[in-house]
Structure 1
Amino acid sequence: MSEQVLPQVDPSLLPPSTRTGLTDMVAWLGRMRREHPVHRDMFGIHHVFSHSAAQQVLADPTTFSSDPSHVMPAAAAELTSGMLAVMDPPGHTKVRKIASQAFTPKRVKNLSDRIEAIAEELLDQITESEFDFVARFSQQLPLIVVSELLGIPRADLPLFLGWTEKLLAVTVPNPNDEAELDASIASAQMGPLIEMQGYMHQFCAGVRAQPNDGFLSDLLQAEVDGQRLGDHEVVNLAIQLVQAGHITSASLLANSVLTLSESPELAARLRADSSLVAGFVDEVLRTKPPVPRLQRFTTTDTELDGVAIPAKSMVFVWLLSANHDESVFADAVRFDPERAASKALTFGHGIHYCFGAALAKTEARVGLAALFRRFAEFEVAPDAQIEFYEGEMFTPKSVPLRARTA
């Protein structure tokens, strides 16, 4: 049997590594927007780079499905049922109605004081002048908040931190090699997701027997149109609530501190004028989105910007590129905390707009305010080599921070 020979490909069409940051990636995305706004790569994956095309894809879940089973049969239903990110209507509509209750504006507003108290508690535990901001603060704050929201004991949080580390380390192999892809998915299923499912099944059983004040207790009793969620739906939704309320916020907090360390003048401006913090958080989300791209799967033959896309194709929607589209954001590479970033696609668009967006922004604003109160100044250790995960999230592995108390 002869070996499969992959076609020759121009190396300039391959995305650069993000291990050391986004500089090279942003430059590459800019060139792709100009020269190949919709690009089919050597594996048959279609990449969408412009803001208008990305918005079109995200607004059309009928053509561009979130359900990976269209092209990846290994995406077992029992693994993904209840996970909003990989669901389409009508199932998505039912589950989202329930899930959105966890992060309503009123509930998030009521959480502000508790978020501040947890932030202060975490900072009280830091007595060193240099510490890992990721391990000691940015990973801890949102995980504690969402665990309290769901009623998960704080003593169990190290388990979730371990599962998060494993998930962030997962990389996707050649999506055109079905055997390789199936093996990768199976590995993920037998790893952190399966372990989390086992934990949440036991935890939900305990909550059913002894209801508490957590949102998960309400979730088990909630109904939409007279129907309750099935056990798999509740478990997987709870897992996604933890992930949505944890990983995104942790990434935002860490990238915010990195941004401030790169620009002492900006940090001074935020200290002097707290009204700029909200805009600063929005601009960090625009320029360093925790999820640089989303996956969609075509259900039928379609066309985008004049490029034909067959049914059962994988489509990568580059949010990072859309957020740097010069036709939407003037001088897009410039960081401007006073920019109106409402058109950024960081949290998605349409029916899959992230229901945890308000909570993530609140945690970042409250967390930064606590840092400014506690430390007269802080900076990333000058000799630190910041390394980022290279999976589907853009977040630093560690941020050694030097700080001087106020």
Structure 2
Amino acid sequence: MTSALSTEDVPSARFGLGEQLAWLRRKREDGGVHVDASGAHHVFAHADVERVTKDPATFSSNPARVLPEGVPNMTEGMMLVADPPQHGKLRRLAAQAFTPRKMRDLGPRVTEIAVGLLDRAPEGGFDAVEHFTVELPATMIAELFGIPAADAGAFRSLVEQIMAIEPPDLTDEAAVRAAADNALGGPFLELMGYLLQLCARRRAEPGPGLISDLVRARLDGEQLADPEVASLAVQILQAGHLTTAAVLGHALVLLAEHPEAQAALRADRALIPGAVEEVLRCRPPSTRLQRYTTVDTEVAGHAIPAGAVVVPWMLSANHDDAVFDGPGVFDIRRSPNRHLTFGHGIHFCLGAMLARVELTGALNALFDHLPMWTVDGVVEYQESHLLFGPKRVPLVVSTTPTDRRDLP
């Protein structure tokens, strides 16, 4: 849960990032800090965003610091908002799901799932969000956790509902309490109930997947209770599911808009890793984060008091011409590429390697099974405090699937 953002100040990205990127560029040029109508301090320059995200002692992830007295903290104990030393303990447990070896070993399975999804997609054209970009990471994360295939659809729906919840204004006690009641009485409670049942089954009958590993793991010499395992699982699922789906949707749109890049990737698959990084730079699945100051501080010469909300914009940092030559150009050969899409410091995205493996496997499968694609019409985007991605990607393709790796 985070502080409400004054949307009056920020152009909507519903129909693309053009206006928002122009606004962010002006803010970087104007001095790099902007205070919105809610009192939040927005930070835009690459160096400033990097500084804020790697200094948890000054810029905490824990919203409890700005909650009104007596208002419940729904994020208490969650790794995504924890500060040291609690964060390090929880992250070491969660990292069991994302070891480099496990991620590399997933590559062939990613390709297998992607090929199956494309084989079942309608010929001639289809909504890639409905038929591909959401299903691929949903299937992968469910398998990673050992969730039965029959439960994957309902599981995905619950995660989507939770990710779509907009945060209340933390200064409005009534709004915060209402949000807590709604969250705990709806999809969050249902998802936690399912995971608690799965934890109980895995304690009785260990099986494959991270849930089984976590119920046997120990933190400071003690086993985690089932509610702790379920809470940790929810956070990993949120980080590794819809964010990857959003980036994959962005990749399809960007490659439709840049057919020369699409053709180059078909001809030389060695370019795909660099293209993945450029998609991540240009279209991050989350445009901004939120932090909370623990002491009086300053950013770019701008004084920020203790207890303030700070909003570091990764999207802006990724387009800072102090770091990137031609930041508005989609360049699949860009090197180096110091984007901050996965964050920085202790909260660097745990699922970064999984996202890269899934994007690489997905693009290879797309190039093998579809000819050149375009997008039909204007793409509409969803934008929340946690997620930025296409609602629909209406692909137009040939009716004859073929291997097009020999294209010039």
Shared fold, TM over 0.5? yes
1:79-115: per-residue Cα shift (whole Å, max 9, x none)? 4355321111111110101111211111100111111
TM-score, normalised via structure 2 length: 0.91
1:28-107 to structure 2, matched below 5 A, reads: 28-72=23-67, 76=72, 79-107=74-102
Contact in 2 for aligned 1:300/1:310 (Cα 8 Å): yes
C-alpha deviation, 1:237, in angstroms: 1.0
Name segments (4+ residues, structure 1) moved above 4 Å: 73-77, 173-176
C-alpha deviation, 1:341, in angstroms: 4.8
AA aligned to 1:271 is R
Match of residue 121, structure 2, among 109, 121, 126: 126
Distance 1:271 1:160 in 2: 34
C-alpha deviation, 1:223, in angstroms: 1.9
Match of residue 385, structure 1, among 378, 387, 394: 378
| 1:397 aligned partner | 391
Residue 254 (structure 1) aligned with residue 249 (structure 2): yes
AA aligned to 1:277 is I
Residue 349 (structure 1) aligned with residue 348 (structure 2): no
Secondary structure class of the residue paired with 1:200: helix
Residue 359 (structure 1) aligned with residue 326 (structure 2): no
Contact in 1 for aligned 2:71/2:173 (Cα 8 Å): no
AA aligned to 1:385 is V
* Stretch of structure 1 that moved more, 208-217 or 179-188: 179-188
Distance 1:190 1:29 in 2: 37
Match of residue 160, structure 1, among 143, 155, 159: 155
Secondary structure class of the residue paired with 1:257: helix
Distance 1:23 1:212 in 2: 48
Distance 2:246 2:31 in 1: 29
C-alpha deviation, 1:250, in angstroms: 0.5
C-alpha deviation, 1:391, in angstroms: 0.8
1:1-400 to structure 2, matched below 5 A, reads: 14-72=9-67, 76=72, 79-381=74-376, 384-392=377-385, 393-400=387-394
Contact in 2 for aligned 1:132/1:400 (Cα 8 Å): yes
Contact in 2 for aligned 1:68/1:86 (Cα 8 Å): yes
Distance 1:167 1:341 in 2: 36
Matched positions, count: 393
Distance 2:150 2:72 in 1: 31
Contact in 2 for aligned 1:171/1:390 (Cα 8 Å): no
1:258-289: per-residue Cα shift (whole Å, max 9, x none)? 00111111111110111111111101100100
C-alpha deviation, 1:70, in angstroms: 1.1
1:20-71: per-residue Cα shift (whole Å, max 9, x none)? 1111111100000110411222211111111111111111111111111111
AA aligned to 1:154 is A
Contact in 2 for aligned 1:84/1:96 (Cα 8 Å): yes
Question: Are the structure 2 counterparts of residues 75 and 232 from structure 1 closer, same or farther at C-alpha, using a change threshold of 3 Å?
Answer: farther
Distance 1:224 1:184 in 2: 31
The answer for unaligned runs of 5 or more in structure 1 is: 1-8
Contact in 2 for aligned 1:222/1:228 (Cα 8 Å): yes
Secondary structure class of the residue paired with 1:303: strand
C-alpha deviation, 1:117, in angstroms: 1.1
1:374-404: per-residue Cα shift (whole Å, max 9, x none)? 01222212xx332111212111111111222
* Stretch of structure 1 that moved more, 385-394 or 157-166: 157-166
| 2:405 aligned partner | none
* Stretch of structure 1 that moved more, 346-355 or 203-212: 203-212
**Percent of aligned pairs with the same amino acid:** 46
Secondary structure class of the residue paired with 1:15: coil
Secondary structure class of the residue paired with 2:218: coil
Contact in 2 for aligned 1:103/1:356 (Cα 8 Å): yes
Distance 1:352 1:75 in 2: 25
Secondary structure class of the residue paired with 1:389: strand
C-alpha deviation, 1:140, in angstroms: 0.6
Question: Are the structure 2 counterparts of residues 400 and 75 from structure 1 closer, same or farther at C-alpha, using a change threshold of 3 Å?
Answer: farther
TM-score, normalised via structure 1 length: 0.92
Distance 1:75 1:329 in 2: 43
C-alpha deviation, 1:200, in angstroms: 0.9
Contact in 1 for aligned 2:67/2:170 (Cα 8 Å): no
Question: Are the structure 2 counterparts of residues 114 and 26 from structure 1 closer, same or farther at C-alpha, using a change threshold of 3 Å?
Answer: same
C-alpha deviation, 1:306, in angstroms: 1.8
The answer for unaligned runs of 5 or more in structure 2 is: 1-5, 403-408
AA aligned to 1:179 is A
C-alpha deviation, 1:75, in angstroms: 7.5
Secondary structure class of the residue paired with 1:395: strand
1:99-152: per-residue Cα shift (whole Å, max 9, x none)? 112111111001111111111121221243221111111101111111111100
Contact in 2 for aligned 1:75/1:185 (Cα 8 Å): no
